[in-house]
A and B are shown apart, each in its own frame.
Chain A
Amino acid sequence: MKEVKNINYPSAYDKDLPEKATIKKSANLFFNIGLIAAGAGLWYLVYSQLNSLADFLTYNVFSIQQGSRLGEAVHFFLYDTPKVLMLLSLVIFGVGIIRTFFTPEGTRKILAGKRESVGNVLAAFLGIVTPFCSCSAVPLFIGFVTAGVPLGVTLSFLIAAPMVNEIALVLLYGLLGWKIAALYLVTGLLVAIVAGWVIGRLGMEEHIEDWVREIRTNADNVPDNALNWNERLKAGKTAFVEIVGKVWIYVIAGIAVGAGIHGYVPEGFMASIMGKGAWWSVPAAVVIGIPMYSNAAGIVPVIQALLGKGAALGTVLAFMMSVIALSLPEMVILRKVLKPSMITVFVMVVGCGILLVGYLFNLII
């Protein structure tokens, strides 16, 4: 975490002193890059020692007996919390920088007039890297649709953006390994691409609210977004401060609950309820997940613990996708631009996609 805290970002004074600005800016950039390199080294050093540190704290400092339930739970908490928070800091800083290369306006320009299949794929990928906050979903929807981005392509973007996000991926990677993170990434993208494509095929355009369809906007209206590297680094820092500052509490709460399940719930307890044998568990997980609204940070640690107790991977992934991608607050927001019939179709198509993912994984793993 150190690498971002220590950086001395150029102050706004740079702009007031034009004669010194260029020299100072490049000096600043080298200074910042040096700090990031030093921070990355320190990060790696601490990260590689986390397991022994957690061992030491649990069994020596707190002198809890090795192998006991309490010891398991405490060790899990002391190891996973700093690990996940460190990974999260690193990735959010990096993604914050990557996102400075994308804007919703630029994305709209790329997607406007694209053929549907290609457009769906592009939209799902751009949904991951384009920065936008959830309260922008409506203006974004209007801006896309009225500038000639096909409805299905727009929806691919809006499904992928919340579902496949860096926080979910980091937590899955940190707690469950890269294979499950990769599975989530690929299937999340597939659900977004296919669901958007299917809705596009259904020709639902007249189920967009009438006032939206009367607006015409221009996709060429792209604001000038030329940033220098100092500004990009600063954007990375801002993303780190904002996002980590917001989700750390969910991560800790999630891991604490996970630690409790990890230490105290008996092995195989979840097998009967969320195991492969229970065919109804996948649809149940999707249905339960819709009204639930949590961010990825809170849900992944719980999911990891459930998996450890015999819950099936497909069921658990379906639950997670449903919680993140289909939520009541999102429906309420989309209701402003979509008629109820369209909302229903949207939930059904995305829900079916998630259901298929759940069954598929229960079948093959």
Chain B
Amino acid sequence: MKILVCGPGCSNCTKAESIVKEAVADAGIDADILKVTDFAEMAKLGVLSTPAVVINGKIMCVGKVPAKNEVLSWIK
């Protein structure tokens, strides 16, 4: 599973990244978590507002920090 967390690095984006990492650790699954900070990359993914979480190419959430439960429901 490939998880991308998009964000230029403001506090919300950092928070989103750590929540995704926690969720992955809790679920005990094997996933690559990558932080996308390049705006061109984000635009190509279709992300307009940050923070955004993209799992296997599908945008799961944009413009908000997801709750851990939400992330768990996406990766299960």
| Residues of A bordering B, CB below 8 Å | 12, 15, 103-105, 108, 131-133, 135-136, 138-140, 142-144, 146, 211-212, 215, 217-218, 221, 223, 336-337
Instruction: Collect the chain A residues with CB atoms within 8 Å of residue B44's CB.
Output: 215, 217
Contact A136 B67, beta carbon cutoff 8 Å: no
CA distance A133 to B43 in the complex (A): 16
B63 touches A217 (CB 8 A): no
Q: Is the interface of A mostly helix, strand, loop or mixed?
A: helix
A83 to chain B, nearest CB (A): 30
A15-B73, A133-B12, A217-B43 are contacts. A104–B50 as well, Cβ < 8 Å?
Answer: no
Do B43 and A142 touch across chains, with their CB atoms under 8 A apart? yes
Interface residues of B, dominant DSSP: mixed
> Could you tell me the distance in whole angstroms from the C-beta of B50 to the nearest C-beta in chain A?
5
Output the least CB separation between A236 and chain B (Å): 13
Interface contact A138-B8, CB-CB below 8 Å: yes
- The answer to whether B29 has its CB under 8 Å from any CB of chain A is no
Indicate whether A103 sits within 8 Å of B62 (C-beta atoms), given known contacts A138-B8, A139-B50: yes
- Asked if residues B39 and A142 are in contact (CB atoms below 8 Å), the reply is yes
Q: What 11 additional pairs, Cβ within 8 angstroms, besides A104-B62, A105-B62, A135-B8?
A: A103-B49, A108-B48, A131-B63, A133-B63, A136-B50, A139-B47, A142-B40, A143-B47, A215-B43, A217-B46, A223-B62
User: Smallest distance from the beta carbon of A261 to chain B beta carbons, Å?
Assistant: 33
Please measure, in the bound complex, the distance between the C-alpha atom of A212 and the C-alpha atom of B61, giving whole angstroms.
23
Q: How far is the CA of A140 from the CA of B8 in the complex (A)?
A: 12
Most A CB contacts (10 A, CB to CB) among B9, B39, B46, B69 go to B39
